[in-house]
Structure 1
């Protein structure tokens, strides 16, 4: 019911971006977009925000891209970071859900919480591709588990020989099975997160290239999806 209300509101707004709030994870409140350029931006009326807060806890911000891509723009991601809320986006009469996450760059490493596996899941979530998160203990690669090869083939990834932006590169770090994932971001660079280091960009050469196990691409990958990852990395450059 709530999603039908959101889609109906977005359609009624035509070429203007709709905006609204979800309270208590179950009630949608349509809001007025008071942006100066409502076809390309949204700004929720302060009065609407106050009214929503008086009715419950604001849990999600909703807006639409009637003439845009089904990804959060750099400005969207910056505002989401500030609000620390989940955001839903309406585009092409579909609703895309984006969880509140830490910026991809500069994360502290904590195995099972913020590691290379988390990085891969969060980056692909930004592109609209949702992957399951496996509970995992440190050193799983020496205990008979093979998490990456269990995850990727059953979630519409296939192995490729050449690398392109957005591909997952699996690396064996002192293990017989791939236990590290990096995202290729072009210009011979990767985005990844290693133990005892902040998540960062590195050149894809030397050690990383030598111990590459395989390269994987999602069946539904579109070049435009990579823009969502670039938008997130840009947050650390502002």
Structure 2
């Protein structure tokens, strides 16, 4: 989904009018027409959070296709509370911040996912984590987990997504490929501090130490060309959700 220029303009206008409180509302699709539907923020502390009245969800003329709110202090990413609420809504969220509107497609919380190859696997997890940071890259089709690994799927698709292989200097935000018998068959996101986020076959997605075992299994390290250190905040906000 893309937001029209008029929708973005209306969202920013409402955000400016509501400041220093957070604004909130919906993106609505009526037939083929997209529009912004502003709502009242009824939160107890509207400068710090937002709450849309329950009855605002009822009687909308059209389909609600995104939830909207603003960050008057210009925090560029969804907070942990935002991610928890987005996970409940299962909708894209638009964030007005820093004079622009950022759209975050819906993705389940990064931790606790059931493994389903091609739908919820290690590459999906990394793609969704980078989306929360504002970096989008396309998914790729899967066939069989072993055949894809043997065909070098990771080495082919990471460059397509904007990643460059680095030879030294592992840093937070890097993607670590691990291998069995010399074949890269798993990917993890290094979080810094000796921890990584990953989704292994037949396990829930989780954070765990980048231990000596995983270090021995490491095949290569990849870094996105648009990565900035402050983006890690977006991922940490998500994994802080209980």
TM-score, normalized by the shorter chain, greater than 0.5: yes
Query: Contact 1:141 / 1:175 at 8 angstroms: preserved in 2?
Result: no
Question: What's the TM-score once normalised by structure 2's chain length?
Answer: 0.87
Give me the whole-angstrom Cα distance separating, in 2, the residues matched to 1:100 and 1:45: 21
SS at match of 1:208: helix
Query: Contact 1:192 / 1:199 at 8 angstroms: preserved in 2?
Result: yes
> Is 1:7 aligned to 2:15, yes or no?
no
Deviation at 1:192, TM superposition (A): 0.7
Deviation at 1:47, TM superposition (A): 4.3
Further displaced range: 125-134 or 167-176: 167-176
Once the two structures are superposed, residues 35-83 of structure 1 have per-residue CA deviations (whole angstroms, 9 ceiling, x without a partner) of: 232222111234433342xx12222100111213211101111111122
> Is 1:150 aligned to 2:175, yes or no?
no
Pairs within 5 Å for 1:193-208: 193-208=199-214
1:87 equivalent in structure 2: 93
Query: Contact 1:72 / 1:126 at 8 angstroms: preserved in 2?
Result: yes
2:171 to 156, 161, 164: 164
Question: What's the TM-score once normalised by structure 1's chain length?
Answer: 0.88
2:119 equivalent in structure 1: 113
Pairs within 5 Å for 1:93-132: 93-132=99-138
The unaligned stretches of length 5 or more in structure 1 are: none
Give me the whole-angstrom Cα distance separating, in 2, the residues matched to 1:30 and 1:72: 19
Once the two structures are superposed, residues 111-134 of structure 1 have per-residue CA deviations (whole angstroms, 9 ceiling, x without a partner) of: 111100101001111111112111
Deviation at 1:16, TM superposition (A): 2.2
SS at match of 2:188: strand
- Provide the alpha-carbon RMSD of the alignment: 2.0
1:30 equivalent in structure 2: 38
Give me the whole-angstrom Cα distance separating, in 1, the residues matched to 2:83 and 2:210: 27
Query: Contact 1:88 / 1:95 at 8 angstroms: preserved in 2?
Result: yes
Further displaced range: 213-222 or 181-190: 213-222
Once the two structures are superposed, residues 160-215 of structure 1 have per-residue CA deviations (whole angstroms, 9 ceiling, x without a partner) of: 31122221111123453x23110112221211111111112232123321121222
Query: Contact 1:20 / 1:29 at 8 angstroms: preserved in 2?
Result: yes
Pairs within 5 Å for 1:38-77: 38-52=46-60, 55-77=61-83
Give me the whole-angstrom Cα distance separating, in 1, the residues matched to 2:96 and 2:217: 41
Query: Contact 2:182 / 2:219 at 8 angstroms: preserved in 1?
Result: no
Size of the aligned set, in residue pairs, is: 231
Give me the whole-angstrom Cα distance separating, in 2, the residues matched to 1:93 and 1:158: 31
Query: Contact 2:83 / 2:109 at 8 angstroms: preserved in 1?
Result: no
The unaligned stretches of length 5 or more in structure 2 are: 1-5
Deviation at 1:9, TM superposition (A): 2.0
